[in-house]
Structure 1
């Protein structure tokens, strides 16, 4: 019911109509975007939450004590704040925070490197007070802001998204649309866009207003974005006039503009904000942030067990003995499934191997999926996947069922993984529907540093495993009553190969602790939904099977229907 409630709220937000107030001659526009006060929670988080802010000079002033006071007020609301500034990070990425640069941060071959640094950054690059120590773990909230020159967007106010790189309304829309393709893969993070502040110069002011109104009102709705892990704070609007606001007032979210589109809070002719404007923004932002945080947490994925609390082998346990001595029997640590769920087995990788390897035969890509006793969690074996995926190619290990499975009484799937290296990307894929119209649903995982020495537990609910972008059910949750297979897949970032090794164990369905299963199933997909036609397969030679089909009766699904669906897998990085 929580998911449905927030989807309905999102719909209401996007269709709210402007009301024209005639009491003033300036054509005051009031955009209410209100929410029932009973649903709002603007209290600080109960536990410390790590937050990082990507900014330059205006953001630095906003954070600074006795200027904008944002850092101090965030700490007072239980946020542990870190930030980036000029010169920060790998490749000096902190220097580049214009709108045209955000795709380099979030949608480039270097994204895994940048995100690993960003999520683990805990230093200060501005002068603000921290009132408590680092609570540990990664940053959970990412705020990012471009500076005021980004309000000089060329083009026209109603320009559509444009992939041609330019300082324009159209390209700005294109950039933000593309960012959603990364954000949707990280429901464990909350991303907050801080709109660029206004300029005193009115040359492009109408464009800036139109773009920021689009970003606040239309961006997520136009893309049918399904999650609550993205939000917008209209910093621009707040700074155009004392009567313009983006805030929570009397239990409602208000977004109010009186038609003035230039900077009101200048610093004696300088476009950097003065103290009054910075502090106004702080007062309006903090309650909104608290609301966005609680809304996100309603549907955020269950957090991983902190490494210190996981009953898994330590680094010392993994160290080989000195000299030629070798243990006669390797340890087999027993690690319980995450305590938030009960589980039903899908594959424990102990018996016959029914997994099949598929890959792009037109490239040098290779993949093997083998059962091994070199690592295991709970019993004797796990599945080892060695993959070497050529740039812009694909590979997958798939388990095909002899008949359609009804998993609607479960909440999702759970498993453990360990990896040979951090920052490897792999996809968890569920196939659904009839053999004639298979559809693919995915969730992308990046291996964390702890996974090199530890088994990492993962729980994915059905509303996190979303339709792939190139099929009709794009970004919609799966219907778990029509499951035909599961897969661990690998694709690449543009022009970048993907190679490595991961081990997977204890693949299971999970149900809530109360045993009630999934209370709200997604709408059942029609057997005729999907791509509408089978993809052409002449140019793709199916690889030799690894293992055997689950059952001879599954041949029509595994060798024909499933292969048709799997061959779309290669398009993921090209599409996104």
Structure 2
């Protein structure tokens, strides 16, 4: 009799799962709010190349290295500093053509090792002088030379929010809530304000792709019965919170609303990769949109938008006529 009951319960869960599991195991369509937010208007400034060469440092890990390099078979100069990669966006070459001298810091170096959201405030507070002198990882620029532009970004795990959290948030985290993330970026601004002769470009973290659930039907159905969210629901919630956070970063009423300087700007890489609000997930994942690293197409699209944006930001910051 007990065995019969177990079989019946199992059959019930499978049947229940059949009501909810998407066809062919695909994740459900995005259902969260896809709110758009305005960004800082730079249209009053020319997008032409600067009138003199400028040293630029990009602090990144794998996605930033792939955005910078040219497309081709993977070839590294250093950890996540590529000479070529299949996902290459060509940004380094495009910037060089505009007169920028591009430098990089990535894995394994003092400045490039830690690039999560909660790392930026202590990094710029304690190591700013070293940041401005980086040539390649732990190598430094010649005496007297400094980076006039610092581009910095976190990677896609920094868009996997566990919840909204509570105001005003903890700038040290460590829990990745929206309010903690807001608090840590707010705590960064006083450090950037000390270097008004340097342009800081915050690049929003790329979104995560929408993945198919790995849960078997019975496990998915069991979660429904117990009131637990499925993998797809967790992913959707993270994506919706990522949209809220990244909208806040770039909005004139958000992160920089009370910042008086002109030396901090935001390039919304997240928005580019989500096709400007078509989804809250990245629509440009690599490997046929099965890998969170942006594809060549997504990176080339971002690179094309980044160059004129940077030229305008450089003029707004007073680094070029």
After TM superposition, is the score higher than 0.5? yes
Contact 2:42 2:313 (C-alpha < 8 Å) held by counterparts: no
* Structure 1 or 2: more helix by fraction: 2
Contact 1:53 1:82 (C-alpha < 8 Å) held by counterparts: yes
For 1:501-512, list aligned pairs within 5 A.
Answer: none
Deviation at 1:197, TM superposition (A): 0.4
Structure-2 separation of matches of 1:288 and 1:236: 15
Structure-2 separation of matches of 1:231 and 1:276: 24
Contact 2:209 2:282 (C-alpha < 8 Å) held by counterparts: yes
Count of residue correspondences: 243
Alpha-carbon distance change, 161 to 212 in structure 1, aligned in 2, over 3 angstroms: farther
**Helix, strand or coil at the partner of 1:122:** strand
Structure with greater contact order relative to length (CA < 8 Å, sep ≥ 6): 2
Deviation at 1:135, TM superposition (A): 11
Deviation at 1:45, TM superposition (A): 0.8
Is 1:261–2:280 an aligned residue pair?
yes
Alpha-carbon distance change, 106 to 35 in structure 1, aligned in 2, over 3 angstroms: closer
Match of 1:122 in 2: 135
Alpha-carbon distance change, 155 to 174 in structure 1, aligned in 2, over 3 angstroms: same
Match of 2:260 among 211, 220, 226: 226
Match of 2:152 in 1: 144
Match of 2:112 in 1: 94
Deviation at 1:139, TM superposition (A): 0.4
Deviation at 1:40, TM superposition (A): 2.0
Deviation at 1:219, TM superposition (A): 3.2
Structure-2 separation of matches of 1:299 and 1:45: 6
Deviation at 1:200, TM superposition (A): 1.4
Is 1:271–2:292 an aligned residue pair?
yes
Contact 1:50 1:79 (C-alpha < 8 Å) held by counterparts: yes
Structure-2 separation of matches of 1:65 and 1:146: 21
Structure number with greater Rg is 1
Match of 2:63 in 1: 58
Post-superposition CA distance 1:301-345 (Å, at most 9, x none):
xxxxxxxxxxxxxxxxxxxxxxxxxxxxxxxxxxxxxxxxxxxxx
Is 1:162–2:179 an aligned residue pair?
no
Alpha-carbon distance change, 264 to 191 in structure 1, aligned in 2, over 3 angstroms: same
For 1:30-45, list aligned pairs within 5 A.
Answer: 31=37, 33=39, 35=41, 37=43, 39-45=44-50
**Helix, strand or coil at the partner of 1:297:** coil
Contact 2:46 2:312 (C-alpha < 8 Å) held by counterparts: yes
Structure-2 separation of matches of 1:136 and 1:75: 21
Match of 1:212 among 242, 246, 255: 246
Structure-1 separation of matches of 2:299 and 2:272: 10
Runs of at least 5 residues in structure 2 that lack an aligned partner in the other structure: 1-30, 72-87, 211-234
Match of 1:194 in 2: 203
Structure-2 separation of matches of 1:65 and 1:228: 31
For 1:87-486, list aligned pairs within 5 A.
Answer: 87-89=108-110, 93-107=111-125, 111=126, 114-123=127-136, 137-156=145-164, 160-163=167-170, 165=173, 166-201=175-210, 202-203=235-236, 204-217=238-251, 218-222=253-257, 224-241=258-275, 244=276, 257-258=277-278, 260-268=279-287, 269-297=290-318
Structure-2 separation of matches of 1:183 and 1:96: 18
Structure-1 separation of matches of 2:62 and 2:196: 29
Alpha-carbon distance change, 240 to 141 in structure 1, aligned in 2, over 3 angstroms: same
Structure-2 separation of matches of 1:229 and 1:274: 30
Runs of at least 5 residues in structure 1 that lack an aligned partner in the other structure: 1-24, 126-132, 245-256, 301-576
Deviation at 1:116, TM superposition (A): 2.1
Structure-2 separation of matches of 1:209 and 1:186: 29
Alpha-carbon distance change, 71 to 134 in structure 1, aligned in 2, over 3 angstroms: farther
Contact 2:153 2:204 (C-alpha < 8 Å) held by counterparts: yes
Match of 2:54 in 1: 49
Deviation at 1:32, TM superposition (A): 5.1
Alpha-carbon distance change, 188 to 64 in structure 1, aligned in 2, over 3 angstroms: same
Post-superposition CA distance 1:483-524 (Å, at most 9, x none):
xxxxxxxxxxxxxxxxxxxxxxxxxxxxxxxxxxxxxxxxxx
RMSD over aligned CA atoms reads: 2.8
Deviation at 1:170, TM superposition (A): 1.1
Contact 1:194 1:233 (C-alpha < 8 Å) held by counterparts: yes
Match of 1:408 in 2: none
Structure-2 separation of matches of 1:27 and 1:153: 16
